[in-house]
Structure 1
Amino acid sequence: MTVDLTTIIKAYDVRGTVPDPFSPAVAEAVGAAFARVVVLPDRADDGDAAARPEVVIGNDMRDSGPELVEAFARGLTAAGVDVVLIGLCSTDGLYYASGVRHAPGAMFTASHNPAEYNGIKLCRPGARPVGEATGLAEVRAAAQRFLDSGLPDPVAEPGTVQEMDLLGDYAAFLRSLVDLSGIRPLKVVVDAGNGMGGHTVPAVLGTAAGLPALPLEIVPLYFELDGTFPNHEANPLEPENLRDLQAAVVEHGADLGLAFDGDADRCFVVDEAGRAVTPSAVTALVGLRELAKEQAAGREATIIHNLITSQAVPELLQAAGATTVRTRVGHSFIKAQMADHGAVFGGEHSAHYYFRDFWFADTGMLAAMHVLAALGEQPHPMSALSEMYEPYVASGEINSRVDDVPAARARVLDAYLEAYPDVVLDDLDGATVSHWDATPRWWFNLRASNTEPLLRLNVEAADADIMEKVRDDVLSLVRAARGEGELA
């Protein structure tokens, strides 16, 4: 039975259970489609059609990775595309390879999904994303044809395959962007969640790549690469997955803790008391550091943030002289805005951090290095440092399953627009209702899931009582059985 690729190739990447529906045959078809839809046309558009095209491929620690990589590479080489296999790597390690070699890339990972999943993140040269609006829909359509009707005949001169280890070069490149040599000694607990952080942290923050030692004592948690995730899910966005790190930070008297997700492209921070530091606070901290670097060079700076980040992010950055741009949730949107504005930095509430100096791509490791530098360059604890960037109270993202998403959304908006005629409403991504320029200060965003009957709520206010009231009122309206809900 033919696989329906719309079930595994979505807006941003390929993701599915292995081997059904995500089989080696599917991987080979996607490789063949990627070659013909993206790789070869891009080479022709660059005026270099005669040169041998190349694709770099990496994979995370999942057992299914090598077989899927091999099949994907067959699809590429049969089309005349050379393949560079960089082996085990983090997603930002693949972006580094794509950037430094100016080649398209494919990262085999399912990030924090369970062991039975795998996937592919595709990019153009320079780590430029391939999403539904930038080629992925066409890749999906071509791959579907190949699955249904057979793969194209191989070209007369197929591509070659070579292996290359870029881990040391990746580590050295990141070290060149943030100088940690002069910071005070820090004890850092790192929870890799049995994901790729266990591979990259020793290289970047340790001496595994032959780099000079840093004044860091790393206490490792779950550095053993294991795609079955035997200790906890490798998704630090869920609070329960931070508990081991929080306990270890306190137990070891550490200065802070760092947690990486499965493919180590996201980084979360815990202070010395075991309290989570919000990604919004990290966005403000790193953004101000990148802004200061630009200002020292006599340049202005633009910084991107999505609409779920704290209101403190644009307030602090604008006060320091930055231009800020608010964007939709999702890496494809923020990466596009980064490139369009030449932004020096971008941050999301989900702990994805994007850097101009990293080909506008996201790298949790580089964000972690900025946090270590900011902490180590001054004498105060992480809690005091992060407090500067967390003046408000947020709910975090709350999901509600509803039978009728448009009706639930309408209930909320009708009630709030009637009760608060001075609110500002915008629909950049879902509905954002803001009372921030009035008293009391609060805002909330209500977004529908793209794939499930869910509404996602984020609330922020100037104090906890107001946040809790707005949160509870909105949730009661969202979850009302009928449309008679009213604000308390």
Structure 2
Amino acid sequence: MSIDLSVLVKAYDVRGVVPDQLSPVVAEALGAAFARVVVLPDAEAGAGTGAGAARPGMVIGRDMRDSGPGLVDAFARGVTAAGVDVTLIGLCSTDGLYFASGSLGVPGAMFTASHNPARYNGIKLCRSGARPVGQDTGLAQVRELAQDYLDNALPEPVEAAGQVSERDVLAEYAGFLRSLVDLSGVRPLKVVVDAGNGMGGLTVPAVLGEAAGLAGLPLEVVPLFFELDGTFPNHEANPLEPANLVDLQAAVVANEADLGLAFDGDADRCFVVDERGGAVSPSAVTALVGLAEVSKELAAGRAPTVIHNLITSRAVPDLLSAAGAQTVRTRVGHSFIKAQMAQHGAVFGGEHSAHYYFRDFWFADTGMLAALHVLAALGTQEHSMSQLAEMFEPYVGSGEINSTVPDAAAATQRVLDAYRAAYPEVVVDTLDGVTVSHWESHPQWWFNLRASNTEPLLRLNVEAADEDIMEKVRDDVLALIRQD
């Protein structure tokens, strides 16, 4: 009996346990379906063939997980049997795959399970130019066709099967990022980088070190866990969990470093630690990087737009609007923010999960480019990282708090009824879950409740103008959510 792909194909990507859910057989079916749903139609429409290519083509990359090579080979078999050429770029970060898709003008597939444990693997798919493939932009059709192939049979290979070639794009990727942010004039900085045994161990030396053709930078990089190891022997490669930042925080203080950077498993997210070992809010990083991009746009005589998701701090739209940008608030999730980036021609976008998106990077997310902006901002003035971050963190946030509930809709309604009764002046919107805002009144606070798509969870984010108010709202909402 074949696997039910509905448990494997998520809203934005493919993610599951190897080999129980994601096996070479499943990967081959997904490759065959991706070729027919995305690659071939894109080529017929005039996109996705690559410069000078005789046949439609795509790129495939992978992270350091042991299951990667076998899954890549199987996926490539499914693709080439449909008459599509495959370029294997080998070990890379997810933003390295996006670079290849954007610069070569072809669709792509990145084999990674990001921060998930070693027994998992997955696939992030994109159209040419790194355009997202999500549930509403082709992924549902890929799942349905692949399911048909698993339930029945793979189609017969076409007579003119695709060819497989290899290409190393790491140096091109590093050079491109360095061309977007000039660090040559920053003051000397010592930075500790925790790669978590993930792909940052490959990309950080290439971008921040003296790679071929790139000049050295005034940076002293102290490496933590740069060895590529998909078993994650030191800690999970998920810096969003505070426990996984402990090693970096201690190393920053012990080395008297100026800051620390942490990357997740596929190195598309970047987290920042200040010189005291304190975690810098991704919202503060969004504001900091956003201001740099807004300033560049204004200097070029263009009207800047910045996208942010609805759980970023209110400081983000406050600071960026004051700097002359139009800000657009969007749902949580990279497919939503990428769509808004393209629709508005936005120069930058940020999420509170530490995904950062750049127009100059095909509207895709890249943690490494965000890291370069942070280093530039710190290194072009004399304030410490903690002082710099404080300028962008005027409010107090709770972080995301998950509650297991039997009925998420009923719990949400209970909270909404209580707050509407107690505070008739609140503003409620349902852009993503429910956001209840008292920001235009005093005391200032807001919270958002979002239900998980896959688990019986409610996710709560609270922000207020001061800590006492944040704690009160947080505790009151949690009591309502968790009441029997």
Q: Taking structure 1 as the reference length, what is the TM-score of the superposition? A: 0.98
Corresponding position of 2:19: 19
The answer on 1:78 being equivalent to 2:81 is yes
1:10-49 alignment runs, 5 A limit: 10-46=10-46
Aligned residue identity for 1:202: P
- 1:137 corresponds, among 135, 140, 149, to 140
The answer on 1:310 being equivalent to 2:313 is yes
The answer on 1:223 being equivalent to 2:226 is yes
Residues 47, 217 of structure 1: alpha-carbon distance in 2 compared, 3 angstrom cutoff = closer
SS in 1 for 2:177: helix
SS in 2 for 1:129: coil
- Structure 1 distance, partners of 2:9, 2:313, is 31
CA RMSD of aligned residues (A): 0.9
- Structure 2 distance, partners of 1:220, 1:59, is 22
Corresponding position of 1:252: 255
1:183-241 deviations in Å (ceiling 9; x for gaps)? 00000000000000000000000013441100000000000000000000000000000
Q: CA deviation at 1:42?
A: 1.0
The answer on 1:423 being equivalent to 2:426 is yes
Residues 48, 383 of structure 1: alpha-carbon distance in 2 compared, 3 angstrom cutoff = closer
Q: CA deviation at 1:339?
A: 0.1
- Structure 2 distance, partners of 1:213, 1:56, is 30
The answer on 1:116 being equivalent to 2:123 is no
Q: CA deviation at 1:177?
A: 0.1
- Structure 2 distance, partners of 1:210, 1:204, is 11
1:231-246 alignment runs, 5 A limit: 231-246=234-249
Q: Is the 8 A contact 1:108 1:120 kept in 2?
A: yes
The answer on 1:473 being equivalent to 2:476 is yes
1:283-323 deviations in Å (ceiling 9; x for gaps)? 00000000000111111100000000000000000001000
Corresponding position of 1:413: 416
Aligned residue identity for 1:449: S
Q: Is the 8 A contact 1:171 1:209 kept in 2?
A: no
The answer on 1:161 being equivalent to 2:161 is no
Aligned residue identity for 1:14: V
1:309-328 alignment runs, 5 A limit: 309-328=312-331
Q: Is the 8 A contact 1:29 1:75 kept in 2?
A: yes
Aligned residue identity for 1:139: V
Q: Is the 8 A contact 2:118 2:230 kept in 1?
A: yes
Aligned residue identity for 1:388: M
Moved more, 172-181 or 35-44: 35-44
Q: Which runs of 5+ in 2 are unaligned?
A: none
- Structure 2 distance, partners of 1:437, 1:342, is 29
Work out the percentage of aligned pairs sharing the same amino acid. 78
Dislocated runs of 4+, deviation >2 Å:
47-51
- Structure 1 distance, partners of 2:151, 2:32, is 13
Moved more, 209-218 or 139-148: 209-218
Q: Is the 8 A contact 1:167 1:209 kept in 2?
A: no
Q: Is the 8 A contact 2:307 2:341 kept in 1?
A: yes
Q: Is the 8 A contact 1:90 1:265 kept in 2?
A: yes
Q: Which runs of 5+ in 1 are unaligned?
A: 482-488
Corresponding position of 2:185: 182
Q: CA deviation at 1:51?
A: 4.2
Q: CA deviation at 1:48?
A: 8.7
- Structure 2 distance, partners of 1:462, 1:468, is 11
1:263-302 alignment runs, 5 A limit: 263-302=266-305
Corresponding position of 1:486: none
The answer on 1:376 being equivalent to 2:387 is no
Aligned residue identity for 1:18: V
The answer on 1:4 being equivalent to 2:4 is yes
Corresponding position of 2:438: 435
- Structure 1 distance, partners of 2:328, 2:411, is 29
- 1:390 corresponds, among 389, 393, 400, to 393
Q: CA deviation at 1:45?
A: 1.6
1:36-75 alignment runs, 5 A limit: 36-46=36-46, 51-75=54-78
The answer on 1:262 being equivalent to 2:252 is no
Aligned residue identity for 2:157: P
Moved more, 50-59 or 114-123: 50-59
1:82-93 alignment runs, 5 A limit: 82-93=85-96
Q: Taking structure 2 as the reference length, what is the TM-score of the superposition? A: 0.99
